[in-house]
Amino acid sequence: MVTAQEVKSLRDRTGVSMMQCKKALEESSGDIEQAIKILQKSGSKVADKKSGRTATEGYIGSYIHSNGKVGVLIEINCETDFVAKNEDFKELSHDLAMHIAASDPKYVSYEQIDPEEMKKKKEELAEEVKKENKPEDIAVKIVEGKVKKYFDEVCLMTQQYVKDPDLTVEHLIVKKIAKLGENIKISRFERFEI
């Protein structure tokens, strides 16, 4: 039997509805860590279902660092005005703006990268690896890994979230989609630095 305290504890840790927390705890026989995994899986399924829906409403979030020398504006879209006015959604936009101020991404996602830039980076890294005199097949894998690592670090969605390094920004968005019940997209951002 799942207690109300266990449900509340899981809700405090995940932000998911009480009913979903109760179902996950029942399914996991009261194991909170297993219930969290169940909620993450169901959150991913919800996000996948919602990803095709149009997100035309939204919110412009901002963050100015305490020294006044770094600032960020970010446009985050959702499906309804109701969610756009929700405090969780506004907090997400602020947290992401703060993340951008700290991590300085260049793109929202891989889709925004100019193929020519990706090609140049791959050639540059291939030249570096060539100097190591590795066998050809190993060198190709090393270059692929370095290219992926570089672009993961400059794309917002694939960066480790600064407030919780166990999550990428993409996983944070998936969690918020599951919690708020609407598709969420980061349209664009601009980072200013003096």
User: Measured at the alpha carbon of residue 174, what is the angle toward residues 71 and 163, in degrees to the nearest 5?
Assistant: 45
Q: Tens digits of per-residue pLDDT, 31-56?
A: 888 887 777 776 655 545 545 556 77
- Of 12-16, 22-26, 54-58, 135-139, the range with the lowest mean pLDDT is 12-16
**Order of all β-strands in the sheet with 57-64:** 57-64, 70-78, 185-193
Q: Tens digits of per-residue pLDDT, 169-192?
A: 999 998 888 888 888 999 999 999
pLDDT confidence bin for 151, thresholds 50/70/90? very high
- Residue with more model confidence, 81 or 105: 105
- CA torsion sign for 22, 27, 30, 36 is negative
d(CA 92, CA 87): 8
Domain 57-108+155-193 belongs to what architecture?
2-Layer Sandwich (3.30)
CATH number of 4-50: 1.10.8.10
Q: Are 180 and 83 in contact (CB under 8 A)?
A: yes
CA distances, 82 to each of 14, 23, 87 (Å): 22, 26, 10
Other CB atoms within 10 Å distance of the CB of residue 63: 20
d(CA 67, CA 154): 24
Q: Are 49 and 55 in contact (CB under 8 A)?
A: no
- Take residue 65 and report the two structure tokens written for it: 């660092």
**pTM for the structure as a whole:** 0.70
- In the predicted model, is pLDDT for residue 74 greater than 80? yes
d(CA 147, CA 124): 10
